[in-house]
Chain A
């Protein structure tokens, strides 16, 4: 696609429910990142994919968070048993690994998650 697409754009869920957030990167982009931005806070790195593999999962805040990427394209971030502190904007970015130095990363518009 023309840009990085994230869905849903907004999600309100009850505490304890599971949620899935989706990221559809730019076609052909091999690198994909998830970041989290809590209200009034900076961007927090969550996880990085190169192709379908995730060499760096160090940013996932707890074992309630998991992510996968299939076919080297769409990625899903899953949060199990959501807590109120999970409320944040979840941002996805993608890049063509062979040109990230020159072109950098393109971000999606984010998913605003509210846990009530």
Chain B
């Protein structure tokens, strides 16, 4: 059974810092890995998707990497802003379902 773990569970940083959020998964037989953002009381917004054959994806200040063989992904946020405050979820797709990690709750202080 696929298990996805995210570290840290919560993170509070001052504005402007560069951040690394970690995601690990137990079964490397995945099709893709997706990073989502969830604001309080809202649904999920897709940030980045990395296919299993890819190593990284970039969108603006966000960069996600994937090391499938070691079962790890990182989401790098450059020059964090208060508007980045949210919960970040990673999810892997395998076996006809997405399996989610528990999320990292990020607070960026002005």
How many residues on chain B are close to A (CB under 8 Å)?
24
- Please, how many residues of chain A have a CB less than 8 angstroms from a CB on the other chain? 23
Closest-by-CB residue of B relative to A10 is: B41
Q: Mark B24-63, 1 if CB is under 8 A from A, else 0.
A: 0000000110101000011111100101100000000000
Question: Across the interface, do B51 and A102 meet the contact criterion of CB distance under 8 Å?
Answer: yes
Q: Using an 8 Å CB-CB cutoff, how does the interface string of B85-110 with A read, 1 for contact, 0 for none?
A: 00001010100111111110000000
- Shortest Cβ distance from residue A9 to the other chain B in the assembled complex, whole angstroms: 10
Is A91 touching B43 in the complex (CB atoms < 8 A)?
Answer: yes
**Judging by beta carbons under 8 Å apart, are A101 and B31 in contact?**
yes
Tell me the smallest distance from the CB of A51 to a CB of chain B, in Å.
13
| A42 contact from B46, B49, B102, Cβ within 8 A | B102
Partner of A45, one of B44, B89, B99, B102: B99
Which residues of B come within 8 Å of A, CB atoms? 31-32, 34, 36, 41-46, 49, 51-52, 89, 91, 93, 96-103
